Amino acid sequence: MASTSTAAAPKSTDPLEPALLIEGAQTDASLNASLFDHVWTAPGKGWWGLFGIALMGLAMLGIGLTYTLYKGIGAWGNNIPVGWAYDIINFVWWIGIGHAGTLISAILLLLQQKWRTSINRFAEAMTLFAVMCALLFPLFHTGRPWFAAYWLLPYPSVNGIWPQFKSPLVWDVFAVSTYFTISLLFWFLGLIPDLASLRDSSKSPTKRMIYGIFAMGWRGSGRHWAEYKWSYLLLAGLSTPLVLSVHTIVSFDFATSVLPGWHTTIFPPYFVAGAVFSGFAMVLSWMVPARHFLGLKHVVTMKHLENMNKVILATGMMVSYGYVMEHFIAWYSGNPYEFAVFFKVRQRGPFAPIYWLMVFCNVVVPQIFWSKKARTNILIMWIAALLVNVGMWCERFVIIVTSLHRDFLPSKWELYAPTWVDWSIYIGTIGLFSTLFLLFLKFVPAVAATEVKELRHEMAHHAHGATAAGEAHG
Amino acid sequence: MSASNDGPGPIADRDEMAVPGGQTGAQGQEAARGRVSLPIVEEARAQTEVQSRQVRKYWRSIAEKEGSRSLSAAAAREFPAGAGELPEPNRRAFMQLLGSSAALAGVAACHQPQEQTVPFVRRPEEITPGLPQHFATGYSLEGYATGLLVESHEGRPTKIEGNPDHRDSLGAARAFEQALLLGLYDDDRAKQIRHNGEPVAWRQFLAEVALLSARHGSDGGARLRFLTDPTASPMLGELRQRLLLKFPNAKFTSYSPVASDGAADGLSAAYGRGVEARHDLARGAVILALDSDFLGDGPEQLRLSRQFSAHRAPSAGMNRLYVVEPGLSVTGMSADHRLRLRAGDVSRFAQAIAAELGGRGGFSQLAKLGGGRAMAPSDAHEAKWVRAVAADLANNRGRSLVIVGRRQPAAVHALAAALNAALDNVGVTVSYAAPLLTDLRSGSAPIAALAQEIAAGQVDTLVITARNPAYSAPADLKFDKLLGRVPTTVYHALYEDETAPGRTFFIPAAHPLESWGDGRATDGAITITQPLIAPLWGGISDIEVLAAFLGEGDQTSHKLLRRSWQAKLASIPGATDVDYDQVWEKWLADGVIVGTETTPLGDLTLDFGAVARALQDSNSAAPKGAGIEIVFAPDYKVFDGRFANASWLQELPDPITKLTWDNAALMSPATAKALGVEVERDSDKFSILAIEYRDRRIHAPALIVPGHADDCITLPLGYGREGSERVARGVGFNAGALRMTDAPWFDRGAQVMRATGMHLFGITQNHWSDEGREPAMEVTLADFQNEHSEFFERIEGRRGPQASIHRPVDYSNQQYKWGMAIDLGKCTGCSACVVACQAENNIPVVGRDNVVVGREMQWLRIDRYYTGEIEDPEVVVQPLGCVHCETAPCEYVCPVNATVHSDEGLNEMVYNRCIGTRYCSNNCPYKVRRFNFLDYTSETPAVRRMAMNPEVTVRSRGIMEKCTYCVQRIEKKRIETRVEGRAIKDGELVTACQQGCPSDAIVFGNLNDPTSRVTKLHADARRYDLLHEIGTRPRTAYLARVRNRNPELAKG
């Protein structure tokens, strides 16, 4: 099926792609070997160690949620006026993190960005797991989740009661569930050829059967490939608006309210930028160690990392612009309540340290990526990515808690403090995410092997065609 | 479905069914036999099957079917074995069973014929199940009765309201009286008569009393003493007289920890005989309150609030209130001008006023009361005050009032009487009448005399019906220890409190709502207080306890009372003995006996010389020393500690400090700074202080209150309880531990220093400033009368229609358009409405810890903002519940439609539908929504549940709630008026808060009725909408407060 000749390392001659996307002299076989290696080899001590820690985190989630169901929302630190706190902060944070996957998979696919291939599987999986973490909160943040589980859905009830379609929370349900469904399908579709490869190369009959079931009878026929390409493109087309819509709608939870600090028209684009920003940061924070430990340096090259840093810089600038505009409008509108929120409460109130941490992480830290040295330094980019994750969590805290805790009437201003349950659930979702992610690394190729192989061919063809003045299209 | 089935569905289905063997199951088999059922046949057959089932005998288990004998025997029982037995009792259930069975045993033993507690075998004519009844009764606090109306559902009291026909209530009720309901159903109440701690029956007690009486009879009761609450009850007075006839050498002592002995002594000195002052603000134009909290405290509070507030609208001819006091009070918050002075300096101020007036023409008799140079104002500010106030009083001669509070010593009261007399106020704003209380004095002096007798071993038997003297008596008497030296003590109380341990006999008292009695209003009008329910735990009334010593303990208080009043019938105007039953019924129904008011004394002359002498004595004894002044105050929530077990009151935010579940050492910011008080930033944590006074030392957390006098600390009484009351225990500190016989209210010389540690308070509003947002608007009278003042510019921007892209809903074609108006000028912040709302709407109490984190549940809150200087601010208060926005921000964000709008404009909360996202609260600009963060209701003790209003849903965990404009009252009235075929009239429908409000600040009604009060108030020049700029179109409008400033004091 594939050429087995040991082709010389393709030297890039494309001025737009000056750096290498695949390093070394790779063949399909060598790629298969290296990309599937982490699936076939038994997990080492490192994996088990991490998995153990992740499971402990997952247990904290279980404890936190069980205690909340037993005790009520009073187990958390929420109060009146701070009706939402860690619950919705974490929801928005996780949804934001889930944005990188779709952006990389869908938009970059449509834009024919070749560098996406090595990281898209990774990012898509993160999207799925992040959205799963996020989905916990709309359900469990309610006082009566046993009703919320289905009352939020528009189903024909004998009482003739429908959800309130004016409420952004209902839009959220649609937006997030659509997003999750499409992301899952998209991820799974992309996995099918690789699952077939795993089936074919597996040595144990059990594994062969399991991978065989999920490979859905993929035989690699021309018709399969044609259908596959089309559906992949279609799903990419479907996902693309979702990248913009999901966080836009999440931002409506705030933007459609009357609360100073929430009632802002800039929220939709600013939330989307923030989501991509945090999503890329999260991908980077996991990718950097993963490429090292899984031996993927030849396919996830410095070129990929640098590109991601560029995206972080760009979206970071958009987020900073959002901050500036928020403050400008608060001043320019002459609205005393908004002015108070942006210039007094956030900057000088009891939660000011979190605000300034947010400014540092989201505005100052990304500026380091103007320098190519920083963009290509593994340690710097990893620390920066972690700081951006912290910064984006702080941003949601600033938006949600600081706006709520001091709103219109000073008589009902209250402080907010999280309880151990809040922390337990938050850490627990990180545990859930890590657990799923480690399982993903164990059972599924972290890099889309099919696409990398395709890219290798494409680039070999390119290099060849450039000299032969042949067809430019792959 | 196969590809060939492309025809219309039903036909295709029938085709399939017709194929033999094509289906499995009954339907298929039937189809195979060619019996194709049409749906209607199917239905008919189903019905016959159901009928046949009804006659079939079902078996419950295989064993029963098989006919096992033992099992069929078991099946004959309705429930499996063991189900009828007690479940394994947990501690609480065990205690409940223990308590109730013990109490029931007691009941069976002592109250043989329970009168009028027969269950309704035939329904009495006036009772309709489901419809509440109202009964008039009364409650005596500090000796004077306030008339009450109690709502009763099927025999259980559920709500306490004021009796509109009673002059000291006028339809309103204080927080204290409203919270009596919790006291009635309080599971912590004493339930057992005890003899040296052992349970005994009432009859055994009577036998013991008979022995005691016989013993004391020999020497005329020379070693028998009674310690009672101050009272004006004719029945108790009569019993006392009869006891004194039987035991001529016995003595009665009244004791109240918050007695107004200064007034009694001062007026006695001034008029040469004991008199009581009665105040009347109906015609008062200028009021000078000297350390007097007449709007927040005292038996006249409700009436004075109504009269005062009637003159707080510019249209009504405004009065002007000057308040001179150490710490902010409810009255101080309502003042037009307020001067902060230490309690010990108030006398100086009053004498300076007298001197200033004496220097003017026409007040020469006041000149010698001036106190001279020693009593001159201490600074220019005070001097300016003296000049301005004296001038204002002089200009309003005959329509002014000088009123002095209970803390002040006799000389100040005497001086105030002299000022009122000189200002020709007597008979207009103040009048004097013969005392109604059986004992003129009930403060520290009488109990000190009793203590002396006890210490001297002159008392063998002490009968205590006074409330908890071991806790509340002056600390230097060590009364709790002294009680141990009396051979026989009988203590009659609602709770086994601090006084109960060690008593020879303990008698559980019947709650005021469980007992017969009588009382007098401050004007002497008599109220018969009737029980609303038979004693829940066999309590005994004080009448019965005293009667026991007359040998009439086997008589019920009802009999004693009826007989007594029958004998006194001749003294009641218009009453005859012809049909006593009818007269009695009318008294009970009215709640007040018309014509029993006593008239003020007309032949009094004030002895100015005596006043001068009293002042001289007082000045020479006045504390001049250095050191911090400590001032005691009755608490707005627990009073002297007697209401400390009522959780509504404990959780009620203090009108001034907004403190719940605590008391604190209140002080000014400057004093706090001088004492090194630390406040944790953005938190309610304050330093704990050690306060040392005359070798006594207490630890008390500090709390900074703007407007407090410097070098002075106010210590509210009634906390730090150590009795068996579970709610009260461990809340706050006992300020009474520093009270001395000779300084019951204030003294200097306290040493205050920081102790280790910080204390976290549960304060519902810790932000003082309104941040310049002016949610509670105010204006000076001068500005209000000037139509070009910038006030009108401001207020015009806060009312009226706004540009909107939405077309507002048109409510004009509705029969009712509900709305409310709250007059900030009238609201004193007394907080009676908050408790009224809590009682009416089954609002749970959440406890201190939840208040600390901001989860209090009261639907109605009273916001308090300070303006001006932090050391000497002005205060404005603003009651705020749901304002029922026409374009409510809460409604469109709820994902499940749980909060929706009614046709009449109510913002309704559908509890059943709520899933608790809290989004509505986040989007509520007023933050008036309350969330059930935890399960606050399901562990409510069964007896406490009897207090629940059956017309209001009890909310479960995880749902949102808020003010409904008392929708249950609206619907009830709607049903009533529909039956009668008419519309609801203005004024016949009131919300609970409106009903409880003594100052008439809240008006509710139909905005579509152009003649209704609320419509008129919505059109008032002072009307504005809170947060109008957001465009919520609230239905509750506010009326800006007007301050009637004295131009002399206003400038500079």
- Do B735 and B680 lie in one domain? The reply is yes
Minimal C-alpha gap between A448 and chain B (Å): 39
B225-239 average pLDDT score: 92
The 8-class DSSP code of residue B426 comes to B
Of B19-28, B337-346, B446-455, the least confident: B19-28
Of A1-5, A119-123, B348-352, B622-626, the least confident: A1-5
- Do B927 and B838 lie in one domain? The reply is yes
Query: Among A79, A143, A407, whose Cβ lies nearest the Cβ of B854?
Result: A79
Peptide bond into A81 cis (omega under 30): yes
- Alpha carbon separation from B153 to B124, B500, B861, B952, B968 (Å, rounded): 14, 34, 28, 13, 15
Given a cut of 70, whether residue B736 has pLDDT beyond it is yes
Given a cut of 90, whether residue B595 has pLDDT beyond it is no
Given a cut of 90, whether residue A241 has pLDDT beyond it is no
pLDDT computed for residue B1052 by the predictor: 54
Length of chain A: 474
pLDDT computed for residue B97 by the predictor: 63
* Residue A167 tokens, joined: 């409420």
pLDDT computed for residue B114 by the predictor: 54
**Which chain A residues are Cβ-neighbours of B935 within 8 angstroms?**
72
Of A3-12, A52-61, B319-328, B878-887, the least confident: A3-12
Of A102-111, B189-198, B296-305, B991-1000, the least confident: A102-111
pLDDT band at A25 (very low <50, low <70, confident <90, very high): low
- Do B1022 and B893 lie in one domain? The reply is yes
pLDDT band at A237 (very low <50, low <70, confident <90, very high): confident
Mean pLDDT computed over every residue of chain A: 85
- Do B420 and B483 lie in one domain? The reply is no
Alpha helical stretches, state H, B928-1003: 942-945, 967-980, 992-996
CA distance B623 to A358: 59
B212-236 average pLDDT score: 90
CA distance B888 to B1026: 13
Given a cut of 90, whether residue B78 has pLDDT beyond it is no
- Do B885 and B982 lie in one domain? The reply is yes
Within a domain: B245: yes
- Do B399 and B479 lie in one domain? The reply is no
A360-384 average pLDDT score: 92
B442-462 average pLDDT score: 91
B888-894 average pLDDT score: 93
Question: Given an 8 Å threshold on Cβ–Cβ distance, is A409 in contact with B1030?
Answer: no
Mean pLDDT computed over every residue of chain B: 85
Contact call for residues A32 and A306 (beta carbons, < 8 A): no
- A426-439 pLDDT, tens digit per residue, is 999 999 999 999 99
Tell me the CATH number at B828.
3.30.70.20
- A114-134 pLDDT, tens digit per residue, is 777 777 888 888 889 999 999
Question: Given an 8 Å threshold on Cβ–Cβ distance, is A72 in contact with B933?
Answer: yes
Distance of CA B7 to the CA centre of its chain: 76
Query: Among A163, A257, A413, whose Cβ lies nearest the Cβ of B897?
Result: A163
B31-37 average pLDDT score: 44
ipTM: 0.90
Within a domain: B744: yes
- Do B290 and B351 lie in one domain? The reply is yes
Spell out the domains of chain A, with CATH numbers in brackets.
28-459 (1.20.1630.10)
Minimal C-alpha gap between B796 and chain A (Å): 18
**Which chain B residues are Cβ-neighbours of A412 within 8 angstroms?**
765, 861, 863, 926-927
Query: Among B683, B918, B1027, whose Cβ lies nearest the Cβ of A415?
Result: B683
Identify which has the larger pLDDT, B595 or A133: A133
B372 contact partners, CB below 8 Å, separation of at least 6: B355
Minimal C-alpha gap between B807 and chain A (Å): 17
- Alpha carbon separation from A301 to A62, A100, A286, A298, B793 (Å, rounded): 38, 18, 14, 6, 68
pLDDT computed for residue B15 by the predictor: 40
- A283-313 pLDDT, tens digit per residue, is 888 888 888 887 777 778 888 888 889 989 9
Nearest-Cα residue of chain A relative to residue B865: A411
Minimal C-alpha gap between B959 and chain A (Å): 6
Of A252-266, B117-131, B681-695, B708-722, the least confident: B117-131
pLDDT computed for residue B470 by the predictor: 92
Nearest-Cα residue of chain A relative to residue B1026: A409
A408 contact partners, CB below 8 Å, separation of at least 6: A260, A337, B773, B775, B925, B926, B927, B1027, B1030
Domain enclosing residue B845, as ranges: 778-804+812-1047
Strand-strand pairing, B526-529 and B517-520: antiparallel
pLDDT band at B32 (very low <50, low <70, confident <90, very high): very low
B717-721 average pLDDT score: 92
**Which chain A residues are Cβ-neighbours of B761 within 8 angstroms?**
none
Query: Among B773, B921, B957, whose Cβ lies nearest the Cβ of A336?
Result: B773
Tell me the CATH number at B224.
3.40.50.740
A216 contact partners, CB below 8 Å, separation of at least 6: A192, A195
pLDDT band at A77 (very low <50, low <70, confident <90, very high): very high
Within a domain: B848: yes
Given a cut of 90, whether residue B817 has pLDDT beyond it is yes
Given a cut of 70, whether residue B1027 has pLDDT beyond it is yes
Q: What is the DSSP string of A119-139?
A: THHHHHHHHHHHHHHHHHHHH
Contact call for residues B109 and B203 (beta carbons, < 8 A): yes
Q: Which amino acid is at B88?
A: E
pLDDT band at B63 (very low <50, low <70, confident <90, very high): low
Residue that is last in its domain, among B38, B54, B70? B54
Within a domain: B908: yes
- Do B427 and B455 lie in one domain? The reply is no
Tally the domains of chain B: 5
Contact call for residues A256 and B893 (beta carbons, < 8 A): yes
pLDDT band at B122 (very low <50, low <70, confident <90, very high): low
Query: Among B773, B878, B957, whose Cβ lies nearest the Cβ of A143?
Result: B957
Minimal C-alpha gap between B793 and chain A (Å): 18
Within a domain: B619: no
**Which chain A residues are Cβ-neighbours of B918 within 8 angstroms?**
73, 78, 83-84, 141, 143
Question: Given an 8 Å threshold on Cβ–Cβ distance, is B896 in contact with A407?
Answer: no
Within a domain: B649: yes
**Which chain B residues are Cβ-neighbours of A415 within 8 angstroms?**
682-683, 854
pLDDT band at B713 (very low <50, low <70, confident <90, very high): very high
Residue that is last in its domain, among B388, B412, B433? B433
**Which chain B residues are Cβ-neighbours of A349 within 8 angstroms?**
682
**Which chain A residues are Cβ-neighbours of B854 within 8 angstroms?**
79-82, 414-415
Within a domain: B737: yes
Phi/psi of residue A455, nearest 5 degrees? -65, -40
Query: Among A168, A340, A412, whose Cβ lies nearest the Cβ of B927?
Result: A412
- B960-988 pLDDT, tens digit per residue, is 999 999 999 999 999 999 999 999 999 99
Identify which has the larger pLDDT, B538 or B881: B881
pTM (2 decimals)?
0.85
Given a cut of 80, whether residue B26 has pLDDT beyond it is no
B301-319 average pLDDT score: 90
Percentage of chain B lying above the pLDDT 70 cut: 87
- Do B969 and B1041 lie in one domain? The reply is yes
B511-526 average pLDDT score: 92
Contact call for residues B695 and B737 (beta carbons, < 8 A): no
Given a cut of 80, whether residue B1040 has pLDDT beyond it is yes
Residue that is last in its domain, among B414, B433, B452? B433
- Do B730 and B782 lie in one domain? The reply is no
Question: Given an 8 Å threshold on Cβ–Cβ distance, is A409 in contact with B892?
Answer: no
Query: How many beta-carbon contacts under 8 Å exist across A and B?
Result: 179
Within a domain: B148: no
- Do B400 and B289 lie in one domain? The reply is yes
Question: Given an 8 Å threshold on Cβ–Cβ distance, is A407 in contact with B863?
Answer: no
- Do B929 and B783 lie in one domain? The reply is yes
pLDDT band at B84 (very low <50, low <70, confident <90, very high): very low
Q: Which amino acid is at B271?
A: Y
Given a cut of 70, whether residue A21 has pLDDT beyond it is no
Of B136-145, B353-362, B456-465, B634-643, the least confident: B353-362
Given a cut of 70, whether residue A469 has pLDDT beyond it is no
Tell me the CATH number at B349.
3.40.228.10
